Amino acid sequence: MPEDTPPSPPPPLPARPVREPDGVVVAERKAARTKPPALYQVVMLNDDYTPMEFVVMVLQRFFQRDMDTATHIMLQIHQQGRGVCGVYPKDVAATKVELVLTAARREGHPLQCIMEAA
């Protein structure tokens, strides 16, 4: 039975040498920071043919919205021509757009779903 080995420590951060007045060199570590991923809004657009019930179902199924929230977003889409379904990193937003479009086409609805930079 293999022994559990502790995980290796992360590599040290790059050091920046700093020369002190007395000639001593001190290495300072600069904290590495990563940018958070860019976020995108998934937006559904209104049309005159897709049933409101289908839009509510899509919001519940693909965006994990409860009935009240899904109905509110659906009414916003209906009245204002568009509604934000959620905000996600780019790859998640693109996947959700494809899921919605595939479900709409499968049911024969012309529902449009797009993503925009948040």
Question: Which pLDDT tens digits describe the chain residue by residue (118 residues)?
Answer: 455 666 666 666 555 666 667 777 766 777 888 989 999 999 999 999 999 999 999 999 999 999 999 999 999 999 999 999 999 999 999 999 999 999 999 999 999 999 999 9
Q: 52-63 and 67-80 helices cross at what angle (nearest 10)?
A: 130
Angle at 45 between CA 115 and CA 48, to 5 degrees: 160
In the chain, which residue ranges form alpha helices assigned H by DSSP? 52-63, 67-80, 90-107
- Contact partners, residue 14, CB within 8 Å, separation at least 6: 29, 30, 32
pTM for the full model?
A: 0.72
pLDDT at 39: 98
Q: 52-63 and 90-107 helices cross at what angle (nearest 10)?
A: 140
